Amino acid sequence: MAKRVKRIKKGIESLKEEIEAHFNKIEEDRRGENIGREIYHIKEIDKGLLKALEIKIDILKIKDNSVEKYRERLERIKKELNLQIRK
């Protein structure tokens, strides 16, 4: 079980890094006015990465509010872009 826990913790950190990378790419796309790519990164975070992070945190039953923080950050970006992305 210890190996599994260690692997899941490593996966959580990896997902957080990937989410941050996508947020950075959103900022780059915003400067370059590339809205199509911006929307792609928003959807990638929203539909894939946050759900995976949430599942891994639930498996370990740890207190980690990073999913909520990332969702709030994503919602702020969506509001700034005036986007209503279907869920």
What whole-number distance in Å separates Cα of residue 38 and Cα of residue 2? 39
pLDDT, tens digit (0-9, with 9 covering 90-100), for 32-82 = 877 788 888 888 998 899 999 999 999 999 888 999 999 999 999 888 887
Q: Which two tokens stand for residue 53?
A: 């992070």
Residue 86 placed within a domain: no
Task: Judge whether 67 lies within some domain.
Answer: yes
- What pLDDT, on the 0 to 100 scale, is given for residue 13? 95
21 belongs to a structural domain: yes
Q: Residue 87 falls within a domain, yes or no?
A: no
Does pTM surpass 0.85? no
Mean pLDDT across the stretch 15-38?
A: 88
The number of domains in the chain is 1
